[in-house]
Amino acid sequence: MKLQEHFVQSVRLYYKAKGEAWLQQLPKLIQYCEQKWSIKLKEPYFLSINYVAPATMEDGTEIVVKICIPDEGFLNELEALQLFANDRMVSLIDSDKRYGIIVLKKLSPGHTLAEVNNDEDACYIAAHLIKAITKPAPVHTRIPTTGSREEQLRQLVYVNPNGVGPISQQTLDQALRIFTYLHQTTKFYKLLHGDFHHYNVLASENGTWTAIDPKGLIGEVEYDLIQYMLNKLPVHNAYDVIKKRVEIFTEELHLDKERLLLWGYCHTVLATAWTVDEDRSYNTQFFGGIEIFEKLYKANFGDVTYLTS
């Protein structure tokens, strides 16, 4: 079976031996899906670390089958799909917890929000979608809170006392202080998408837009918008683009701009750290975002102790 080369590399890099074993099993897992749901999987989409392919059920329903390593992330995504159950979130048709399989309704035409060229138009679409899917946090859930992100950063600081890749120790410390401050002052916990960005928003029937791929997270709405703001940035003038996105989100969703910028700062530090590779390469756009959120904060709210000390 011929698999996309970058997919094989990513699975090996991310999951190590477990990923290698899963790749070996993949032909059998595909066969298992085909038998269980009486389908024939078509060519997969452009893959990252899960095997995702369309198919047609016997009754003609167009579906997408997503085969994942059945770990924590898979279980969180499955629960998030069940909890969201909303017409602006992709519908879950069936699942198989044992083998890490999710069966979704196929969205058509299915192109992503990245194909909307006008950045402001795309941002309004994103804001309205977030408004439609966000809901109060459930009382009992396995889905982690944004506190887990603060803990990830704390671990990073602990393991890398002199900084991570291009991120200085001072920046890491500052981001951690801001994370702590924000969690100490959070009032409303919501069920969040957890990986909301242009490529996880697909064009669907009747000109609507639908979210896919919710990783699931519990926290403030402001947090869910940061990953979107770091994506699809121009090489030059990213500052103005992020500034405009911040304005649109703040107005459309009635958000607290100060907290949005602070979440922006600390999440961007963490997101940049995630991209630092063994060869010390990293996502330069994310790295540039750290300074942009800091500058925007200063322009709007001036120097505050938790940003400057």
Determine which residue in the list 73, 110, 165, 288 makes contact with ligand ATP, applying CB under 6 A. Answer: 110
Return the number of the residue (212 or 229) whose C-beta is nearest ligand ATP.
Answer: 212
CB nearer to ligand ATP: give 167 or 212.
212
Q: Which residue's CB atom is positioned nearest to Mg ion? A: 213
* Token duo for residue 158: 């602990």
Does position 77 interact with Mg ion (CB under 5 A)? The reply is: no
Tokens of 77: 């995504």
Residue 8 binds ligand ATP (CB under 6 A)? no
| CA–CA gap between residue 163 and residue 307 (Å, rounded) | 17
Q: Work out the widest C-alpha separation in the chain, in whole angstroms.
A: 63
Kindly state the tokens that stand for 273: 């750290």
DSSP 217: E
Amino acid letter for position 220: E
Determine if 107 is a binding residue for ligand ATP (CB under 6 A): yes
Site string for ligand ATP, 197-236 (x = CB under 6 A): --xx-x---------xx-----------------------
Tokens 């791929």 correspond to: 213
Nearer to ligand ATP, 49 or 304 (CB): 49
Q: Are 290 and 239 in contact (CB under 8 A)?
A: no
Binding partner of residue 245 among Mg ion, ligand ATP, none, CB under 5 to 8 Å per kind? none
Among 11, 22, 23, 106, which residue sits at the site for ligand ATP (rule: CB under 6 A)? Answer: 106
Taking the complex as a whole, the smallest distance from the CB of residue 196 to ligand ATP amounts, in Å, to: 11
For the record, the structure tokens of 67 come out as 């085969």
Residues 63-92 that bind ligand ATP (CB under 6 A): 64, 66, 90
CB of 100 or CB of 289, closer to ligand ATP: 100
State the minimum distance, in angstroms, from the CB of residue 107 to ligand ATP.
4
CA gap 119, 230 in Å, rounded: 13
Distance CA 211, CA 198 (A): 9
Phi and psi torsions of 212, nearest 5°: -125, 170
Return the residue matching tokens 């167009």: 62
Task: Please identify which residue in 77, 96, 150, 213 interacts with Mg ion, judged by CB under 5 A.
Answer: 213
Query: Is 205 or 303 the residue whose CB approaches ligand ATP more closely?
Result: 205
Q: Which tokens hold the place of 134?
A: 């966000």
Residue numbers 171-200 binding ligand ATP by CB under 6 A: 199-200
Judged by CB under 5 A, the residue of 76, 146, 174, 200 near Mg ion is 200
The minimum distance between CB 112 and ligand ATP, in angstroms, equals 6
Q: Tell the smallest beta-carbon distance from residue 4 to ligand ATP (Å).
A: 11
CA distance 11 to 266: 27
Q: In the set 48, 180, 186, 231, which binds ligand ATP (CB under 6 A)?
A: 48
Q: Which of ligand ATP, Mg ion, none does residue 45 bind (CB under 5 to 8 Å by kind)? A: ligand ATP
**H-helix or E-strand spanning residue 287:** helix 284-301
What residues contact 142, with CB distance under 8 A and at least 6 apart? Answer: 75, 76, 79
Q: Closest Cα to residue 86, out of 121, 47, 133, 50?
A: 133
Q: Helix (H, G, I), strand (E, B), or coil: what is residue 21?
A: helix
Helix axes 257-275, 169-184, angle to 10 degrees: 140
- Give residues in contact with ligand ATP (CB under 6 A): 45, 48-50, 52, 64, 66, 90, 104, 106-107, 110, 199-200, 202, 212-213
- Give residues in contact with Mg ion (CB under 5 A): 200, 213
